[in-house]
Structure 1
Amino acid sequence: MTMEMRKPTPKGKWEKALDSSQFWMLPIALIVANSLRTMLGFWLSLLVALGVMGTGTFLLRLPATAERNRRLEEDAQSGVIECAIRYPGAVSGSLGAGWSSGFAEVRDGTIKFQAAFDMAVQRKGSVMVFEDLHSMGDRALSDKRVLALRRANRVIAVRTDKGEIELAGTEESLKSVEDHLRHGDGEGR
């Protein structure tokens, strides 16, 4: 049985450009360094090239970050959040014990989670549905940030029909999950 869920908004042009900038920013910087080598010498031209890369990445990050924030806010309003999930009771070292990043749809007393990449099948993950949700509160965020999700600054625990899960995400996205568990559709508890 395949479960459909709302798709997150696709990345915009600035986000895509930032993601691929490591491949096209380096050749631009090397061309600049090569053209300045005779005037400035090797080391100084290399320093200028690093400055070009850093400045270019910084300038590209500004519109990309604004675009990403708008996209995630629109998704959160429609009930789709970017998060990471794990099973804290899983055997250490197993795939279930690690964080799996992806998107979750919180609606009608359920959480539908789709991993961005499934290690077992080497493709986009299938949709997992969690029902009978009960909030178990915040969990400590380890000193090592959740590597599966950039910008994750909070972790909450939820008891479901499939056992306990932990969700990691931004403060805003997890607040919407907790609000749904408390008040949403008469299903959350």
Structure 2
Amino acid sequence: MRQNPERRTALLDAAIEVLADQGARGLTFRAVDQRAAVPTGTASNYFPNRDALLTQAGRRVFERLDPGPEVIGESLALPRTRASVDRLMHEMVGRITAFPSGHLAMLELRLESTRRPELRAVLTEQIKTNLQENIDFHLDTGMPGDADTVVHLYLALNWLIIERLTLPDLFDEARTDALITSLVDQLVPPR
């Protein structure tokens, strides 16, 4: 296996784009090589098989969607109010929809995981970990609401994101913003 981390990352980013554009069935080593603009055979030197490529592409989506220390620092400085949760939810939806190929690739990976138990296990563990980190952050920082509040927001906003990415004419930007605020108002207790 090759060990050039920059090349591996470029191949995984190309795999995400292929998944978003062509679906899981279109994800081949050749398609990844072409998207990454590398010589044919490069991806197969970095990934032992297609399952490894799928699994690592899923992990890469989560890396790219991570808010980073700046956003975390900003959120720690916010007052512990419903309005702050609203602001954070708007930021999250904006960050995710700004990387549409990542979320679309994740949808493809979720569908593919129904046929690939190893991929299902990896995605389940990654999403479970991310959800628990969100719950812990919410509770540890003293934001209003409990663990169920976070889970409800996660479920509702994930579907709103899917609508924005797959049927963008269903809810325009203003309606999306209003729906986020409405969900927060209904799910997060006032403080």
For the aligned pair, the TM-score class normalised by the smaller chain equals: under 0.3
Higher Cα Rg: structure 1 or 2? 1
**Which structure: greater strand fraction?**
1
**Which structure: greater helix fraction?**
2
Identify which of structures 1 and 2 has the higher relative contact order when contacts are C-alpha pairs closer than 8 Å and 6+ apart: 2
Task: Normalising by structure 1, report the TM-score.
Answer: 0.28
